[in-house]
Structure 1
Amino acid sequence: MKLSFVLTTLLLSFSFNTFSQNTNQEVIIENQQPFLLGQITVGGLSANSYKTWFEPNFKNYETDQKQIDLFKDQLASYKILIFMGTWCGDSKREVPRFIKILESADFPRENLKIVALDYRKESYKKSPQGEEWGLNIRRVPTFIFYKNGREVNRIIETPITSLEDDILKIISQQEYIPNYSSSFHFD
């Protein structure tokens, strides 16, 4: 009985360790800038060399609180998935701003998932766990909005008007066509 319990515990421990993903995994390649890969947190973006671009872009962005107040209550019922590259100029600019908007809207952190994609040629714009599979991620950052488990819309690379305005259009179900929409289709 004891041996069975120990073996079961070891097997479960191995399974969880094998299939779990490290958060804020950093890839370091000789003579190149390190980058984050896979699921990351806002804390990961605020650490190490990433804070040199995250913190100023977060701190210096002035949110449009009037627009945020228009979608704040509805936004909490959405889940948001962000694909980004810590090596990408657009991601370095837009993701900190987007995070600041979410914080200004009191968006629940548990409804946000951030995935950093690879920079290396052999696995360019891919993640270790394949979260991008089937989602047609061609440009980063891509902010995907989900409601009741279904994709509602996305902001691709840069906003059309402003992040606040684009989010408001998506949340209030106004017509919104993201950048590069010709390579993107809803089901």
Structure 2
Amino acid sequence: MKKFFFFAFAILSVQYIFAQTPSAEISRDSHGNKVVKGFLTKQELLTDTAFAWFPSGQKSFTPNADAVKSFAAGKDAVNILVFGGTWCEDTHMALPHFFVTADAAGFSPDRITLIGVDRSKKTLYNLSEAFGITNVPTFIVMKNGKEIGRVVEFGTTGYPEREVAEMVAGAAKK
């Protein structure tokens, strides 16, 4: 009986500790930009007026048809980690295009994890260090918990959403 109570107490304690853990820290940089350090959602980017760049960037973008097909081909095979800076102009340009392309392909939002970094490329829980993030945005394609590729900033072609889509399609074939 003592073991049962100890086990129940341990489970409740762990749940309480993790319930108190913040998912993001919010601050302002010297330019007045809202900086999110930690986990964010696409919905937050769409609805927070501090991120007007996100819905604006989505409205003005038409996804490449081949990229949409590539995303769709592997939409159930991978997860994508995206490190970005809410203060970063490169993120402001690339992130809306990435989401428009993923959405057009029916890529589940549950398979995309968006992580905000501060100007020094740090985030909560040392995730940026764990994944070796030096520039943002960085898109990391994962399959079965392993990295299969990444696109940093605008990649090699200037179209990061297309490069990510090619990796997603490639992962589906393996």
TM over 0.5: yes
Structure 1 residue 90, shift from structure 2 partner: 0.1
Point out the more displaced range, 76-85 or 44-53. 44-53
Taking CA–CA contacts closer than 8 Å with sequence separation of 6 or more, which of the two structures ends up with the larger relative contact order?
A: 2
* SS in structure 2 at match of 1:130: helix
1:58 corresponds in structure 2 to 58
Structure in which a larger fraction of residues adopt helix: 2
1:12 Cα deviation after fit = 4.2
Give 1:100 deviation, angstroms. Answer: 0.8
Cα distance change of structure 1 residues 60 and 75 upon mapping to structure 2, 3 Å threshold: same
Structure 2 unpaired stretches of 5+: none
CA RMSD of aligned residues (A): 2.7
Q: CA deviation at 1:163?
A: 3.3
Q: Is the 8 A contact 1:21 1:129 kept in 2?
A: no
Partner of 1:76: 76
Q: Secondary structure at the match of 1:125?
A: coil
1:17 maps to: 19
Other structure's SS at 1:132 match: helix
Partners of 2:67 and 2:161 within 8 A in 1: yes
Q: Which runs of 5+ in 1 are unaligned?
A: 175-187
1:129 lines up with 2:163 in the alignment: no
Partner of 2:164: 167
The percent identity for this pair of structures is 24
Aligned length: 165
Is contact 1:50–1:86 with CA below 8 Å preserved after alignment? no
TM-score, normalised by the number of residues in structure 1: 0.76
> Residues 77 and 35 from structure 1, CA distance in 2 versus in 1: closer, same or farther, beyond 3 angstroms?
same
1:167 to 1:17, Cα distance in 2 relative to 1, 3 A: closer
Contact persistence 2:38–2:115 (CA under 8 A) = yes
Question: How far apart, in 2, do the equivalents of 1:13 and 1:172 lie?
Answer: 38
Any idea what the Cα deviations from partners look like across 1:144-176, whole Å, max 9, x if unmatched? 0001111010110013222343134323449xx
**Structure 1's 15 and 170: CA in aligned 2 closer, same or farther, altered over 3 A?**
same
SS in 2 for 1:46: helix
State the distance in 1 between where 2:145 and 2:15 align: 30
Tell me the secondary structure at the aligned position of residue 56 of structure 1: helix
Change (3 A) 1:70 1:114: closer
Partner of residue 139 from structure 1, selected from 123, 126, 135:
135
CA contact (8 A) 1:68 1:164 kept: no
What SS is found at the alignment partner of 1:152?
A: strand
Q: 1:143 to 1:30 in 2, by over 3 A?
A: closer
Q: Work out whether residues 71 and 172 of structure 1, in 8 Å CA contact, stay in contact via their aligned partners in 2.
A: yes
Amino acid paired to 2:56 = P
